Amino acid sequence: MNRTILLTAIVALGMCGSVAAQNTAAHSYVPPQGFVPDSATAVRIAEAVWVPIYGAEQIASERPFVAALSGDVWTVIGSLPTPSAGYSSLGGVAVAEIARQDGRILRVSHGR
């Protein structure tokens, strides 16, 4: 008897999980231009990824950011500060590659 109840419960839970998975997939909206439709969105995503890695101060110093779409991949790069008295623009900038369709981070790097 206990075995029958346990088996019935397992089957019922499995069916509920399957139905929930089907409902989730059926109700998931994907925008026609993907989740990263424009350069402003790509830049915001890149900043959200860079700040925990490189620090807010470093990333803020690399503004403005430039985002370019090639195929289905956004490439976002920072800008070197303009040279001023006593300050050299040697170094590198943050780079991120982001999938337009689903927002996956494909590559993150920072030049030195």
pLDDT in tens, the chain (112 residues): 567 775 676 766 666 665 555 555 678 899 999 999 999 999 999 999 999 999 999 999 999 999 999 999 999 999 987 776 555 666 799 999 999 999 999 999 998 7
pTM for this structure?
A: 0.71
Identify whether residues 51 and 12 lie together within a single domain. Answer: no
Q: Which contacts qualify for 55-64: CB closer than 8 Å, 24 or more apart?
A: 58/94, 59/94, 62/93, 62/94
Ramachandran category for residue 68: left, alpha or beta (phi over 0 → left; psi -120 to 50 → alpha): beta
Q: 84 Cβ partners below 8 Å, 6+ apart?
A: none
Of 66, 82, 85, 62, nearest to 74 by C-alpha is 66
Identify whether residues 62 and 105 lie together within a single domain. Answer: yes
The two counts, helices (H) then strands (E), for the chain are: 3, 4
pLDDT for position 91? 74
Identify whether residues 44 and 86 lie together within a single domain. Answer: yes
pLDDT for position 11? 67
Identify whether residues 51 and 4 lie together within a single domain. Answer: no
Domains of the chain: total:
2
Identify whether residues 94 and 65 lie together within a single domain. Answer: yes
Identify whether residues 60 and 101 lie together within a single domain. Answer: yes
Identify whether residues 26 and 44 lie together within a single domain. Answer: no
Which residues span the domain enclosing 65? 39-110
